[in-house]
């Protein structure tokens, strides 16, 4: 039986290592890369019915289908099209010509018929959906349209025939400000007029077809037919958000982030092996298998990997190791209390399970709320966090316990307690009456007494943060340095083949009629510039910038534009997501523990959020939607850490049974619980910080602020769990003591009770 268990262990370990070794590279190659890693663009359109059409007449599924057809017309495939209420989000990654595809989507192919004074006679609502076809007139290609509302068409043409010039002008995607008078003077050498064609209408037309001729080639006529059939619906599309990333920038970001993530995960595995020895090796293999599992599952779901998504994966690895750390620390505690290996394994697993589940569920709650209210990359970040959390339980609980259980139950480790990362000399000899030895620095550390020093650090950061907000607000720079996600505007990234200077770029943008608010130079040779513009630029301005930068610096440009309405909605959603996360966690912790645990945990979470915001205010770092995703992740992480401590506190409270607990005993409970869990808190903070530091040092500069927010949040979360949540619980508990339930005494019965005798008085 001993050999059989060891063989199962060895075969399982070998199988996991082989699977990771064989399929890891393939899993990386098959990742569905997002815009920021592969290049491409994302555009959000607001859909409105045309004038005269009912507000409820727009079928959003038809809009999505129309957009998909438009994209396919020019051979651009695999669009990511998402309907969001009355908006539609289009994402195209890895395309070679961003502008071409962008123009195809924005070409809504909406026809309008106007007079020479630019008054609207009829729009696309008069046409039959999908009724455009290629035809020929006198040997020349023309576009033939079927009329759905012949009465309206007759009425409009009859009125037109009574005008002086009797001229009907056909426009494709007429824009406010365009005019027939101006466009008719544009010569063919200058590109010709913006309208398609003109026709003389001498009488009312009562026909079910109309022909548009505009000197088309056959290819141009066929393209117009395809666009009309996909776009002649009763809606108009207004661009409210866009994000364009050049392929070169995306590829560089992917390579650096994957390298940093790989080094970070490898560092976690080495750290676990050094700390826990044999059990660390098991954990390391499980971490590698877990990482592969997340990649495979997320890819199989059709998930798109973004920079923040990969960061979420690496962060998930650090948080997933927490499950193993909780179990291993419990086993070590049992061994250091004199238990046998088998007893320690059984007791450690039993005591750690509920803690693991509680801590992971709170993280899952934050991810679900993030997914429900987030959009775009934030939703992808939340999906990755949910998958990471679920698989963390599968791999780092089930697999680790199974593997360790095979070796423990075989008896092979009975006399090898040092393989669990402890010193044999620290194990008490129970036969000699020895008790658990207190050799750790923290065994005598008074957490309640010394908490004030950590509070002072937090208070100092918050005071500096508030001061920075006040100064910046008074100076007109804004309380926070809000990214365009929230403040609206345009951000342009320039990737040149030569060094760039902010002063030169500022002057060049001014010459293009664009006022910049901030220009940041980065890259190894100062060849990458990020230009922020508070006002959303027009399509014509964007085209002018792209052309100028390409000609002057041989540069590729990427841009992101957010309209004011989208910025306002993002601020509102960020606030709602944070509040709902706090409420969900408050309810769950109150249910699993008591209200004072929940209240203490929430105050600690608010502290963490305020610290992140204070640091961003002090250093004027940009706050974007990805930073909101970080804040919600830290909310899950911090309460995760607090719950481990709360669980030990609850256990120590329960050890008093039904006895009344004094204030001094509550103080002792808090200190003892923190002394027993502080090492675990430090270890899990380190394992989570390691990959973040790797991402900061080696990862893409595009997520530098994102990783800074993670780092600050992780440190703040560890601090609040140890020195705020537990201490606040102590204050609440001594002020609002929970009364222990006592058994009700049975009333003394004076009369003699009747005894039941079967068959006699059991009536």
Q: Which of 169-173, 243-247, 490-494, 728-732 has the highest mean pLDDT?
A: 728-732
18-29 residue pLDDT tens = 999 999 989 888
The confidence score (pLDDT) of residue 317 equals: 79
The candidate with the shortest Cα–Cα distance to 70, out of 194, 233, 196, 247, is 233
| Confidence band, pLDDT 50/70/90 cuts, at residue 243 | confident
Cβ atoms within 10 Å, residue 364:
19
| Confidence band, pLDDT 50/70/90 cuts, at residue 79 | low
| Confidence band, pLDDT 50/70/90 cuts, at residue 13 | very high
Instruction: Answer whether 60-243 and 489-562 agree in fold.
Output: no
Contact between residue 400 and residue 330 where contact means Cβ atoms under 8 Å apart: no
For the cut 60, the answer to whether the pLDDT of residue 76 exceeds it is: no
> Exposed, middle or buried by CB within 10 Å (0-12, 13-18, 19+), for 498?
exposed
Cβ atoms within 10 Å, residue 81:
16
For the cut 60, the answer to whether the pLDDT of residue 586 exceeds it is: yes
CATH superfamily of 489-562: RRM (RNA recognition motif) domain (3.30.70.330)
For the cut 90, the answer to whether the pLDDT of residue 237 exceeds it is: no
The confidence score (pLDDT) of residue 762 equals: 43
Mean pLDDT of 481-506: 85
- What is the rounded CA–CA span in Å between residue 748 and residue 200? 110
- What is the rounded CA–CA span in Å between residue 349 and residue 357? 12
716-747 residue pLDDT tens = 988 999 999 999 999 999 888 655 444 445 54
The confidence score (pLDDT) of residue 440 equals: 67
Contact between residue 111 and residue 181 where contact means Cβ atoms under 8 Å apart: no
Query: What is the CATH number that goes with domain 2-34+247-430+437-443?
Result: 1.20.1640.10
409-440 residue pLDDT tens = 999 999 888 899 888 888 877 666 666 766 66
The confidence score (pLDDT) of residue 758 equals: 46
Domain ranges of the chain: 2-34+247-430+437-443, 60-243, 450-461+567-735, 489-562
Residue with tokens 């006002």: 535
The confidence score (pLDDT) of residue 749 equals: 47
Mean pLDDT of 220-238: 66
Mean pLDDT of 90-103: 70
Q: Which of 71-80, 226-235, 711-720 has the highest mean pLDDT?
A: 711-720
| Phi then psi dihedrals of residue 3, to 5 deg | -65, -35
Q: Which of 472-486, 509-523, 575-589 has the highest mean pLDDT?
A: 509-523
- What is the rounded CA–CA span in Å between residue 675 and residue 540? 64
Residue with tokens 């208070």: 459
- What is the rounded CA–CA span in Å between residue 115 and residue 110? 17
Better-scored residue on pLDDT, 469 or 634: 469
Of 117-121, 208-212, 315-319, 351-355, minimum mean pLDDT range? 315-319
- What is the rounded CA–CA span in Å between residue 166 and residue 199? 8
- What is the rounded CA–CA span in Å between residue 678 and residue 686? 12
pLDDT over 90 percentage in the chain? 18
Of 42-56, 110-124, 219-233, 500-514, minimum mean pLDDT range? 219-233
| Confidence band, pLDDT 50/70/90 cuts, at residue 458 | very high
Please, which residues have CB within 8 angstroms of residue 636's CB and are 6 or more apart in sequence? 362, 363, 364, 365, 366, 367, 385, 581
Cβ atoms within 10 Å, residue 223:
18
The confidence score (pLDDT) of residue 435 equals: 67
Cβ atoms within 10 Å, residue 243:
22
> Exposed, middle or buried by CB within 10 Å (0-12, 13-18, 19+), for 166?
middle
The confidence score (pLDDT) of residue 760 equals: 45
Mean pLDDT of 309-323: 75
Torsion of CA 338, 340, 343, 347, to 10 degrees: 40
Mean pLDDT of 458-475: 90
Q: How does strand 111-114 pair with strand 167-172? A: antiparallel
Helix, coil or strand: residue 330: helix
User: For residue 129, what is the DSSP state?
Assistant: T
| Confidence band, pLDDT 50/70/90 cuts, at residue 622 | confident
The confidence score (pLDDT) of residue 637 equals: 73
> Exposed, middle or buried by CB within 10 Å (0-12, 13-18, 19+), for 129?
middle
The confidence score (pLDDT) of residue 107 equals: 60
The confidence score (pLDDT) of residue 667 equals: 92
Better-scored residue on pLDDT, 235 or 275: 275
- What is the rounded CA–CA span in Å between residue 608 and residue 558? 34
| Confidence band, pLDDT 50/70/90 cuts, at residue 406 | very high
Mean pLDDT of 685-700: 84
- What is the rounded CA–CA span in Å between residue 725 and residue 723? 6
Sign of the torsion angle spanned by Cα atoms 265, 266, 269, 270: negative
Cβ atoms within 10 Å, residue 423:
11
The pTM of this model reads: 0.71
Query: What is the CATH number that goes with domain 60-243?
Result: 3.30.1360.200
Mean pLDDT of 75-79: 56
Residue with tokens 């992971």: 360
Give the class (CATH, top level) of 450-461+567-735: mainly alpha
Sign of the torsion angle spanned by Cα atoms 664, 667, 671, 676: positive
Mean pLDDT across the chain:
81
Of 206-215, 297-306, 358-367, 453-462, minimum mean pLDDT range? 206-215
């Amino acid at each position: 039986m001993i050999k059989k268990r060891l063989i199962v262990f060895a075969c399982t370990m070998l199988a996991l290592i082989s699977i990771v070794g064989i399929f890891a590279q393939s899993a990386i190659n098959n990742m569905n890369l997002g815009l920021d890693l592969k290049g491409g663009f994302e555009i959000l359109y607001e859909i409105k019915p045309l004038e005269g059409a009912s507000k409820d007449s727009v079928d959003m599924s038809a809009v999505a289908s129309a957009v998909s057809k438009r994209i396919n017309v020019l051979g651009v495939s695999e669009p990511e099209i998402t309907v969001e209420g009355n908006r539609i989000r289009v994402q195209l990654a890895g395309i070679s010509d961003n502008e071409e595809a962008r123009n195809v989507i924005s070409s809504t192919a909406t026809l309008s018929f106007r007079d020479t004074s630019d008054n609207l006679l009829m729009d696309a609502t008069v046409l039959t959906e999908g009724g455009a076809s290629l035809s020929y007139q006198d040997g020349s290609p023309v576009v033939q349209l079927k009329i759905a509302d012949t009465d309206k068409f007759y009425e409009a043409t009859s009125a037109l025939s009574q005008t002086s010039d009797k001229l009907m002008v056909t426009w494709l995607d007429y824009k406010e400000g365009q005019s027939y008078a101006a466009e008719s003077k544009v010569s063919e050498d200058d590109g010709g007029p913006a309208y398609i064609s003109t026709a003389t209408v001498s009488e009312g037309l009562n026909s079910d077809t109309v022909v548009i001729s505009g000197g088309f080639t056959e290819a141009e006529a066929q393209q117009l037919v395809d666009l009309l059939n996909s776009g002649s619906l009763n809606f108009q599309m207004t661009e409210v958000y866009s994000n364009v990333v050049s392929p070169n920038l995306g590829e560089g970001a992917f390579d650096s982030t994957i390298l940093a993530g790989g080094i970070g995960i490898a560092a976690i595995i080495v750290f676990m092996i050094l700390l826990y020895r044999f059990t660390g090796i098991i954990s390391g293999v499980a971490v590698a298998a877990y990482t592969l599992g997340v990649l495979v599952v997320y890819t199989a779901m059709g998930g798109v990997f973004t920079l923040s998504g990969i960061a979420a994966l690496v962060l998930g690895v650090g948080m997933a190791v927490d499950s193993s750390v909780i179990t291993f620390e419990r086993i070590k505690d049992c061994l250091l209390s004199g238990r046998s290996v088998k007893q320690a394994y059984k007791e450690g697993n039993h005591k750690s399970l509920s803690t693991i589940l509680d801590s992971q569920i709170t993280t899952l709650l934050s991810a679900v709320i993030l997914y429900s209210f987030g959009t775009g990359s934030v939703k992808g970040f939340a999906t990755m966090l949910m998958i990471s959390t679920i698989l963390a339980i599968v791999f780092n609980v089930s697999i680790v316990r199974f593997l360790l259980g095979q070796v423990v139950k075989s008896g092979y480790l009975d006399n090898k307690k040092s393989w669990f990362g402890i010193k044999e000399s620290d194990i008490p000899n129970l036969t000699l009456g020895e008790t658990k030895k207190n050799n750790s620095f923290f065994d005598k550390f008074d957490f309640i007494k010394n908490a004030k020093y950590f509070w002072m650090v937090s208070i100092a950061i918050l005071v500096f943060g508030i001061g920075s907000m006040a100064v910046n607000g008074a100076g007109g720079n804004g309380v926070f340095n809000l990214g365009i996600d929230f403040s609206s505007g345009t951000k342009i990234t320039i990737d040149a083949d030569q060094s760039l200077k902010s002063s030169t770029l500022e002057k060049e943008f001014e010459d293009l009629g664009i006022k910049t608010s901030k220009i940041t130079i980065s890259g190894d040779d100062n060849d990458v510039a990020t230009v922020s513009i508070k006002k959303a630029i027009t399509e014509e301005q964007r085209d002018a910038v792209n052309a100028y930068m390409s000609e002057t610096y041989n540069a590729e440009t990427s841009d992101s534009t957010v309209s004011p309405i989208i910025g306002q909605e993002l601020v509102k959603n960020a606030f709602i997501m944070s509040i709902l996360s706090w409420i969900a966690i408050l309810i769950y912790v109150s249910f699993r523990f008591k209200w004072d645990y929940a209240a203490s945990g929430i105050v600690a979470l608010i502290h963490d959020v305020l610290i992140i915001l204070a640091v961003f205010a002090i250093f004027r770092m940009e706050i974007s939607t990805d930073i909101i995703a970080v804040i919600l992740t830290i909310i899950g992480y911090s309460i995760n850490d607090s719950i481990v401590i709360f669980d030990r506190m609850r256990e120590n409270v329960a050890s008093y049974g039904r006895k009344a607990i004094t204030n001094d005993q509550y103080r002792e409970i808090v200190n003892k619980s923190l002394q027993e869990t502080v090492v675990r808190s430090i270890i899990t903070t380190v394992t989570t910080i390691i990959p973040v530091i790797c991402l900061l040092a080696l990862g893409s500069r595009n997520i530098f602020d994102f990783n800074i927010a993670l780092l600050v949040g992780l440190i703040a979360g560890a601090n609040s769990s140890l020195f705020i949540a537990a201490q606040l619980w102590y204050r609440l508990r001594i002020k609002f003591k929970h009364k222990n339930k006592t058994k009700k005494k049975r009333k003394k019965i004076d009369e003699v009770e009747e005894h039941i005798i079967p068959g006699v008085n059991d009536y």
